[in-house]
C-alpha cells in the first residue's frame, strides 16, 4: 500500500515536468517542490512564504464567497 502511494505521489509531481517545455509554464506545485529540495538545503522561511502566496488567492475567494459556498451545499442536500 505504501509503495503504491509513493509511486502515485511521485507521478503527480513528475507529470507536469514531462508535459511542460519551459519553466514559465510549470505549475506552482513544481516550483514549491524546487524550494523544498533536500539537495540544496531547505530554507523553511522561503517555503512557508511561497506556500502562503500560492494559497492566499484561493483562501481569499473562499472567504469572500463563503456564504454562497455553504448555502449551495445545504440546498443540494435538501433535495
User: What pLDDT digit, counting tens, does each position of 16-64 carry?
Assistant: 777 777 878 777 777 777 777 777 678 888 888 888 988 899 999 999 9
pTM over 0.85: no
Residue 24: strand, helix, or coil: helix
How is residue 56 written as a grid cell?
A: 492566499
pLDDT at residue 65 in the model? 93
CA–CA separation, 40 and 38 (whole Å): 5
Tally the C-alpha atoms within 13 A of residue 51's C-alpha that lie toward its C-beta: 9
H helix intervals, the chain: 2-19, 28-35, 44-64, 66-78
Amino acid at each position: 500500500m505504501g509503495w503504491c502511494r509513493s509511486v502515485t505521489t511521485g507521478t503527480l509531481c513528475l507529470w507536469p515536468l514531462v508535459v511542460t517545455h519551459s519553466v514559465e509554464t510549470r505549475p506552482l506545485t513544481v516550483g514549491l517542490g524546487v524550494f523544498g529540495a533536500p539537495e540544496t538545503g531547505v530554507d523553511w522561511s522561503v517555503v512557508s512564504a511561497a506556500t502562503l502566496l500560492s494559497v492566499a488567492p484561493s483562501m481569499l475567494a473562499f472567504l469572500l464567497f463563503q456564504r454562497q459556498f455553504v448555502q449551495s451545499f445545504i440546498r443540494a442536500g435538501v433535495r
